[in-house]
Amino acid sequence: MNLRVPAWATLLLLVSLAGPRAWADAPAQRLPAPQSSAHKPSPALATAVFSGGCFWGVQGVFSHVRGVVHATSGYSGGGSATAHYEIVSTGATGHAESVKVTYNPAVVSYADLLRVFFSVALDPTQVNRQGPDSGSQYRSVIWFADPEQQAEAKAYIARLDGAHVFGAPIATQVRPLKAFYPAETYHQDFMARHPDHPYIQAWDVEKVVALRKLYPEFYSAKPAG
């Protein structure tokens, strides 16, 4: 996603000719549920951080998951001095566009979030790109906050790869979360605030539609605030 690229008409034409999710090698699909979550339900809120291409779409998807209290766009993988959109966009900072998901474990589990992430938020077989965006800042990463998240993410990836769910191996990395830096205000809740934006219409609306169709038990019509 690049705010300075004006080629929206071309992107929309390609989508209309090639059909939904034309860029993806792994079409959206309902995935097998992960094994029982290692995290016990707790009255306290929990967080998870995911990178899956442009944070507009990933944030938009998770904001429509029942039990998610808030989803924040931001940056992970680099230092605080370079956690700014214009610098991250160079692809030389170590950062990936990321989304911090704050959720209620009594309503939705970390395992459920993994399932949604791999199924509709991105194409997990892509390397350093998603949709029209390419570069290391668009790589796919699960940033784990504790050993339980790490084990659960790795186990689910191994299960999906072992079942050959996708046409290629999952490229999503599993890395320790050192820090999360919120993105600029104009990036926050971008899909909700700009539903008719050409990029959102071309690449992200279908992800929320897929969430509603594939996982009605997880879907919330009202995005998290």
Phi-psi sector, 149: left (phi>0), alpha (psi -120 to 50), beta: alpha
Rounded Cα distance, 210 and 197, in Å: 19
Q: Per residue in 125-160, is it b (16+ CB within 10 Å) or e — as a string?
A: bbebbbbbbebbbbbbbbbbeeeebbebbeebbeeb
Catalytic residues: 54
